Amino acid sequence: MSESQWQATWHGLHDILGPKWTFHILRLLSEEPHGFNAIRDSLDGLTAPILSQRLKELRCHGLIERTVEATTPPTTTYSLTPTGTEIATRLRALESLVEINEQPTRDCSAETMDCRSEALANGCVTAANQC
């Protein structure tokens, strides 16, 4: 894959998966189909307008499907498409690689980042590694 091709592919991945709550929705639907309110209630802090927007985007990209049953009131269920299932499965495989620690193992403060940036800007790679 050429330089421009892989970059275009990664930009596309970001466009699809980058918006806030997208990973959460895919993760939840990977367990089983859910209705709109069940999704909203399961994800703390997710508002109905944002959920509606994300569901539309994911449907547009072909990752989820919406099923409406003719009940009173109508029942709407969201589930993953085969492509959505494949993506969610691969994302879930990454879960074991991410470890959330109360105490970071490295100093990620703004001071450290500023120190590295300044050293690199001055061509001082050794100094940047010591920050």
Domain range annotation of the chain: 23-96
Range name among 17-21, 42-46, 89-93, 116-120 with the lowest pLDDT average: 116-120
Nearest Cα to Cα of residue 117 among 54, 17, 125, 6: 125
Percentage of residues of the chain with pLDDT beyond 90: 67
Cα–Cα distance for residue pair 34/42, rounded to 1 Å: 10
Beta-carbon neighbour count of residue 64 at 10 Å? Answer: 24
- CATH number of the domain located at residue range(s) 23-96 in this protein: 1.10.10.10
pLDDT band of residue 129 (cuts 50, 70, 90) is very low
Note the pLDDT of residue 124.
57
The residue with greater pLDDT, 50 or 114, is 50
Q: CB under 8 Å to 63, separation ≥6 — which residues?
A: 16, 26, 80, 81, 83, 84, 87
Q: What is the pLDDT of residues 19-36, one digit of tens each?
A: 999 999 999 999 999 999
Give the three-state DSSP class for 45: coil
Q: CB under 8 Å to 92, separation ≥6 — which residues?
A: 27, 30
pLDDT band of residue 79 (cuts 50, 70, 90) is very high
Instruction: Say yes or no to pLDDT of 103 above 90.
Output: no
Q: CB under 8 Å to 121, separation ≥6 — which residues?
A: none
The residue with greater pLDDT, 4 or 47, is 47
Selection from 14-18, 54-58, 120-124 with the highest mean pLDDT: 54-58
Nearest Cα to Cα of residue 26 among 94, 85, 93, 72: 85
Note the pLDDT of residue 128.
45
**Can you give the pTM of this predicted structure?**
0.74
* Beta carbons of 48 and 59 less than 8 angstroms apart: no
The CA-CA-CA angle for residues 41, 64, 75, to 5°, reads: 55
Note the pLDDT of residue 68.
96
Percentage of residues of the chain with pLDDT beyond 70: 76
Furthest-apart CA pair in the chain: how many Å? 69
